[in-house]
Amino acid sequence: MRDFAATGPAHYSIQVQAELALRFDNTQPLLIPLTQDTIAQDVPRITVHLAISDIDLENAMLSLLGRDARFSVVKGSIGYAAESDVRLIDEAPDPDQQRELGELSPPKLLYIGLDNSDESLIEAVQAGAWAFVSEAADSSELETVICSLVEEKGSPLLRRIASSEIGSAALLRELSAPRVEVSATVAEDNPLTTLEVQILELVARGEPSKVIGDVVGLAEQTIKNYVVKILDKTHSHNRAHAAAIAAQRGWLSPLGNV
């Protein structure tokens, strides 16, 4: 059999490349463009980490990503050591594992949900995702969402929830409602200052740091510093996760009124 590592991916079709990459997963990381197409020199390549638990879904996402020369893909545990731009997940990350990894600049999370239902969107927010697509997404939709995560500021998922007229009320009520188990035991004091709450409420609307700074009258970098403090106080790993935690514990105003 021809040695895949020696001959390189250019000798194989996209599908064969994907199959070989999966087959040789234990012997080499997959960090290659899966198509022979070229991209313009001024278009930056995007590295995507597949951290998906369902093998069939992982293969489907790999096939979709392989149609665009802009994407390089790394899969499995090796992806946590690579500097990826976006991480695809289908379930909430393990907080203990994330603390152990200690990633200095973790990638933005894109949640792959079962469908476009309110329940799937809620799962995505609670997982700390910045964006969401359903399993039925085609290559064009997946490309658009990934590129928007890299190129735009703020959280597309939170903006989607905040601006949606259909079903948003149910989503916001769910996210704003304190957890039954929390209220039934010991209520947690809000560790955030009034200004931090105001900033986090704007974060929950998907606003980027510059817009938040304009609203509260502070510099963009100052807002970023405040966000770091908020992440520390809420023990969260990104803005979306912090907003979800604060909303669930009743530390924010009802999100529909923000």
- Supply the CATH number for residue 222's domain: 1.10.10.10
pLDDT of residue 240: 78
Task: Assess contact for 129 and 237: CB atoms under 8 A.
Answer: no
Domain boundaries, position 96: 4-152
Residue 173 within a domain: no
Residue the block writes with tokens 């020696």? 6
CA distances (Å), 245 to each of 62, 95, 255, in order?
31, 13, 13
Residues 219, 95 share a domain:
no
> In this structure, are 148 and 191 located in the same domain?
no
Find out whether 12 and 33 touch, Cβ atoms under 8 Å: no
Find how far residue 208's CA is from the centre of its chain: 15
Task: Provide the number of structural domains found in the chain.
Answer: 2
Domain's final residue, options 152, 177, 200:
152
The pLDDT of residue 147: 92
> Low-confidence residues of the chain, pLDDT below 50?
1-29, 31-32, 34, 180-187, 255-258
Q: Is residue 174 part of a domain?
A: no
* Nearest in space to 150 (alpha carbons), one of 130, 124, 127, 128: 130
In-domain check, residue 162: no
pLDDT for 119: 80
User: Does 71 reside within a domain?
Assistant: yes
Neighbours of 26 (CB within 10 A): 6
Q: What is the pLDDT of residue 170?
A: 59
Give residue 40's pLDDT.
54
Check residue 66 and give its pLDDT.
Answer: 82
Position 45 scores a pLDDT of: 85
Do 12 and 90 belong to one domain? yes
How much is the pLDDT for 229? 92
CA-wise closest residue to 58 among 24, 97, 15, 90: 90
- The per-residue pLDDT for 38 is 57
